[in-house]
A and B are shown apart, each in its own frame.
Chain A
Amino acid sequence: MTRGWTLYDPRLAWILVAPVLLLLIFFLLLPIAVMAVYTFFTFVTAGVETSALTLANWHEFLTDAYYHGFLIKTLRVGAVTALICGVLGYFPAYFIWATTFKHKWLLLLLLIVPFWISFTIRTFSWIHILGEQGLINVTLLKLGLIDQPMQMLYTEGAVIMGLLHFLLPYMILNVYVSLEGIDRTLIAAARSMGCTSAQAFREVTLPLSLPGLAAGLLLCFVLAAGSYVTPQLLGSGRDALFGNLIYDTIMGQLNWPMGATLSIVLFVVLGCFAALYTRYMGMSQIVKGLGG
């Protein structure tokens, strides 16, 4: 029985999906599985571990407040960054959507332009702005507004600033896409029934753009909480996030089993958060629709 391929042949679907599936299995799932196994290995001394299975790493993580502090701080910085991104990002997204400017694509292009420069270089640039000999301090000193340079770099504020710089385009694009999906006749309809522009925004535009805002918040939170480069470059040792802790454990202390444990912790925490959030947001969409 040799039969021709049809367009929606399930075999064809599997073949088309296979390359990606194999990549995911061998380069994502398998390494994670190996990491998970590593968390049960025994740490002997820097760079040396044995495959004798132990719960010591998990015990250490669960009982040592040092790790909990880092985890909570990481989640807090992620949440603060995401919220500020949401507030700051909504306005430019709304502006790009609402403008009658003919070349809207140019505005969208401007959002993407920063991605043409390496993320690391963009982060380094903040050192020249916030540093002791940086733009702000030098200007303020020259103007005589301050006597000695302010400590701006290597603070949590600098880290959040760097993360905002990195994440704002993601937020703006997410909100913009959901705004773009709104049928503008809905706004005309609301206006014709007695809404001012501001009331029409509250009744129609804002609620219908919330899914984009919610998606943006999740994306920014996960990316911020999982960041490594920004706190490494702009934060002091105290401002390190969980990612830096993992790096230090593996590369500094050469404690691979503990590093693996911390990696799996961050992976599971952020994964659970994303899953719960998506589920909750999905539910709330329906509730919002039913409750009006």
Chain B
Amino acid sequence: MPDKLTDQTSKPRPSPAGASQAVAGSAAARPGAEGGTPAVEFRDIDIAYGKFVAVRDFSLAIRRGSFVTLLGPSGCGKTTILRSIAGLVDISGGQISIGGRRVDDVPIYKRNIGLVFQSYALFPHKNVFDNVAFGLKYRNVPKADIQRKVRQALEMVRLPGSEKKLPSQLSGGQQQRIALARAIVFEPEVLLLDEPLSALDANMREEMRVEIKKIQKETGITAIFVTHDQEEALSMSDRIVVMNAGAVEQIGTPEEVYETPATAFVADFLGKANMLAGTVSAADQQTATVSLAAGQTVTVASPRALAPGAAVTVVVRPQKLAVGPAATSNRLAGRVVSTSYLGSSAIYEVDIGGRTTIRANTPISGKIAREGEAIDVGFGPADCVLLDENGSRIA
């Protein structure tokens, strides 16, 4: 771990702690506005393994009944946060509350949380009924109620009548459904999902995504979902917490984090945006003209007047780029490096000079440009986000 540690301390933080706190703070204000206590609240959480700091200064309030995703690359601390709610990891600073009750010193078995693991973690020596009934048994639920609740839970995950089967007799997707039934059957205060789809194959993943979301809506349970898959995060969440190196990069709705990334990391992690470095050559209140390092000049919408000479990065999503005759504004002349044909669309890697390659994902109209062809790419002045020299979005 030592290289990871130095990596973390030596790397300039794209977002100062104040900025991430402000975002987290505004998120915390939300449930307050609706008058309820948040289902889960983190205040200034620090988690360290020995000298390695896994999570720093993490604050977040999660509204009751919402579906919140912790998204980030592996090692960013998202799973650690999830495990800290469950009590599987001790926090070294700050406090965690579930339903307004501080749980820092509450042992795991008294926290009333439902956990779904990537590896399903079904008890291999118990059948489906005993697996699902497990949490109820330890809550002293009467036998007749256990029968009924287990049946209902199995109906909810669309596996009725599977009570007598052993986990080994079920497919991966079915096992994960049983794990989900087992986690929700005793009506926990929070449902924690630790990369529950990662072990499934692609088709099953898509199906389970819809299924989990549906069950979460039906039961109204508060769900915290951990993933490194941006598609899962974007399609399932009410809110996404994008994390990197143990700290929050941005908190927002899927649209917010995708359309207006707060930092260079978010822009790059969600959807591999094109990052065009440049300097402001002219600016007014609404627009800025940026001379790109690649040599061209573009004019983009700007939230405020920028100082000429300031270093900025223009962030453009591949989907926002027009190619060929469709490129009307901010035309950048280039040459196709590679073409990936996807059926309804195509992805072009275009060399626009200055050792800059730009990635465009556009619907196919007419002829597909081949490698080596000269081509223009362009984007509308408002179809981009401007980042300052620290990599934070200019607002």
Contact = CB atoms under 8 A, between A and B. Distances in A.
A186 B123 contact: yes
A193 B186 contact: yes
B134 A193 contact: yes
Most A C-beta atoms less than 10 A away, residue of B107, B113, B125, B182: B125
Interface residues of A, number: 21
Most buried by B among A188, A195, A207: A188
Contacts of B110: 194
B114 A192 contact: yes
Interface string B115-156: 101010101111101100011001100000000000000000
Say whether chain A's binding surface is mostly helix, strand, loop, or mixed: helix
A193 B130 contact: no
A36 interface: no
Interface string A184-206: 01101111111110010001100
Contacts of A190: 123, 134
Contacts of B134: 190, 193, 203
Contact of B182 (A193, A196, A207): A193
A186 B113 CA distance: 15
Contact of A183 (B87, B119, B164): B119
B86 interface: yes
B166 interface: yes
Contacts of A195: 109, 138
A170 to B, nearest CB: 24
A289 interface: yes
A238 interface: no
Contacts of A199: 138
Contacts of B109: 191-196
A19 interface: no
Interface string A260-292: 000000000000000000000000000011101
Q: Chain B interface mostly helix, strand, loop or mixed?
A: loop
A290 B115 contact: no
Contacts of A288: 125
A208 interface: yes
Contact of B127 (A191, A207, A290): A290
A185 B117 contact: yes
A191 B135 CA distance: 9
A195 B123 CA distance: 14
Nearest to B127: A292
Given A194-B109, A289-B166, A189 B121 contact: yes
Contacts of A203: 123, 134
Contacts of A185: 117, 119, 121
Contacts of B182: 193
A284 to B, nearest CB: 12
A191 B108 contact: yes
Contacts of B166: 289-290
B88 A188 contact: yes
Contacts of A192: 86-88, 108-109, 111, 113-115
B124 A194 contact: no
B121 A292 contact: no
Contact of B138 (A186, A194, A208, A290): A194
Nearest to A196: B109
Contacts of B121: 183, 185-186, 188-189
A38 to B, nearest CB: 47
B138 A193 contact: yes
Contacts of B139: 194
A208 to B, nearest CB: 6
In this complex, which of B110, B123, B182 has the most chain A Cβ atoms within 10 angstroms of its Cβ? B123
A74 B195 CA distance: 55
Contacts of B124: 186, 208, 289
Interface string B78-114: 0000000011100000000000000000011111011
Top 6 A-B pairs, shortest CB-CB distance: A194-B138, A193-B135, A292-B130, A189-B121, A192-B115, A185-B121
29 contacts: A185-B119, A186-B121, A186-B123, A188-B86, A188-B115, A188-B121, A189-B117, A189-B123, A190-B134, A191-B108, A191-B109, A192-B87, A192-B88, A192-B113, A193-B134, A194-B139, A194-B186, A196-B107, A203-B123, A203-B134, A204-B123, A207-B125, A289-B125, A289-B127, A289-B166, A290-B127, A290-B166, A292-B126, A292-B127
